[in-house]
Amino acid sequence: MSLNGSDTYRPRIGLTTYYQEASWGVWTADAAVLPGTYVQAVVAAGGTPVLLPPLGTDPSIVEVLDGLIISGGTDVDPEHYGAEPHRLTRAQPARDAHDIALTRAALEAGVPLFAICRGAQILNVAMGGSLIQHIPDVNPEADYQPAPGVFGSVEFTTAVGSISRDLLGPAAIAPCYHHQAIDRIADGLSVTAAAADGTVEALETTEDGWVLGVQFHPEQNPGDLRLFKGFVEAATSYRLDRRERSGNVHQHV
């Protein structure tokens, strides 16, 4: 698909990152960090990754992006949905503010938005929803975080007519790692995938546009890039539509 006189354009995909202590070579210092699996998945799906650390947050960055990924990570601070923190809740306030601001900017601009694990929770909270802070408190049999640093596996079914169903079919299995989950669904979102125990596995906008939040970790399954490819395709279409709208405006000036 040609956007600039060639067939090599790769849509620009923003990815939010951590900002915390990390090590490389002989150095240990604060750094912008993101698991390489996210970047690899974006590249493999045909996109150009653009990392967005939670410093110097500028929501207008969405104006130069073709798509935005809100990546996984630590818990969302319950102050954002009016709750007291659970004893096991661990939040990073600067990252919360960053991710919520970029999520709202992408929604307002209509930029395709793919929110993963914590990202899906950010999406729900940014739009007015709430979270279950510790799943075992309400579902003792749940096993979505088997051990520190060990991904679990979740099976789920998808809703007819959804992005989830279109890309994954009626049922799927994916890696997972989370101790929190979606509780009250925000206005403007609908549940489009759920596990057998009722845990929300996917949220999508009820309005126009490509908005998908998944509670699982598709980037941890490099052999199945269906969601990333669908997202990058949506980002490419968004880029085309934006260029066409811009061209029409210039023609009438």
Report the pLDDT averaged over residues 111-126: 98
pLDDT of the residue at 7: 64
pLDDT at 249 over 60: no
Q: 165-205, pLDDT tens digit by residue?
A: 999 999 999 999 999 999 999 999 999 999 999 999 999 99
Q: Is 15 helix (H, G, I), strand (E, B) or coil?
A: strand
Give the domains, in start order, of the chain with CATH numbers: 12-252 (3.40.50.880)
Count other C-beta atoms under 10 Å from residue 214's C-beta.
28
Q: 60: which residues sit within 8 A by CB, 6+ positions away?
A: 105
The count of residues in the chain is: 253
108 is catalytic: no
Token pair for residue 105? Answer: 């900017």
What's the pLDDT score for residue 251?
45
Strands (E), the chain: 12-16, 18-24, 27-33, 48-52, 67-70, 113-116, 131-132, 152-158, 171-176, 181-182, 189-195, 200-205, 211-214
Which residue type occupies 114? F
**Is residue 80 flagged as an active site residue?**
no
Percent of the chain topping pLDDT 70: 94
| Active-site annotation holder among 201, 204, 219, 233 | 219
Predicted local confidence at residue 250, as pLDDT: 45
Q: How confident is the model at residue 6 (pLDDT cuts 50, 70, 90)?
A: very low
Whether 79 is a known active-site residue: answer no
At residue 247, the pLDDT reads 67
pLDDT at 3 > cutoff 80: no
Task: Round to whole Å and give the CA distance between 52 and 34.
Answer: 10
Q: Catalytic residue among 80, 98, 117, 204, which? A: 117
Q: Is 74's pLDDT higher than 80?
A: yes
